[in-house]
Amino acid sequence: MMIHPEHCSPTRPSLWYRIRGAHLPVERDGRSFAEHLAEITGLSPAAALRLELEYRRFLYLAALTSAPRVPPGLVRVAWSYHAEHEGYGKEFCDWIIGRRLTFAPTVEAPARAYAETVAAYLQEFGAEPPAEVWPAPDALATLPFRPMTPACAPLHV
């Protein structure tokens, strides 16, 4: 029987609860983080809420280690959007996570780092990541890797 990720115990529960409960940017017009993600990705509102949760899970995995963590394309879009906001560095990274997570770090072997990120997800959350957000690592090996900048947000890598 597969354990649902919501019902497992992460290695550092206090860190996970801080990340999971942290406020993410709200647009000046009142749109939430997930509502803006729906707009920029074309996802349904429900799918954008799931993407927000997967983004939070990625941040948690990245915060656990100094090893490179590579997010899938949709999570990279969420990270790009979040990193563009003024409060990302000091208010979110420093206060919530306890250290800076640099957006679009240079990764020498992105396919291997992605596979390790997926493995860490399974270990921490007790379930495979959802395939609609996290492609299988072997599927990524056939796709070209492009370093991500806030102006370039591919949905497939």
Domain that holds residue 39: 12-140
147 inside domain: no
In a domain, 153, yes or no: no
Query: CA 48 to CA 147: how far, in whole Å?
Result: 23
> Who wins on pLDDT, 76 or 148?
76
Residue 37 lies in a domain: yes
- What pTM did the predictor assign? 0.83
Let me know: does 60 contact 16? Beta carbons within 8 Å.
yes
pLDDT confidence of residue 64: 94
Helix H or strand E segment including 63: helix 45-63
Place of tokens 């957006």: 103
Q: What pLDDT digit, counting tens, does each position of 46-86 carry? A: 999 999 999 999 999 999 998 888 999 999 999 999 998 88
Does the pLDDT value for residue 128 go beyond 90? yes
Q: Tell me the sheet residues that pair with 149.
A: 152
Domain count, the chain: 1
Is residue 57, in this structure, part of any structural domain at all?
A: yes
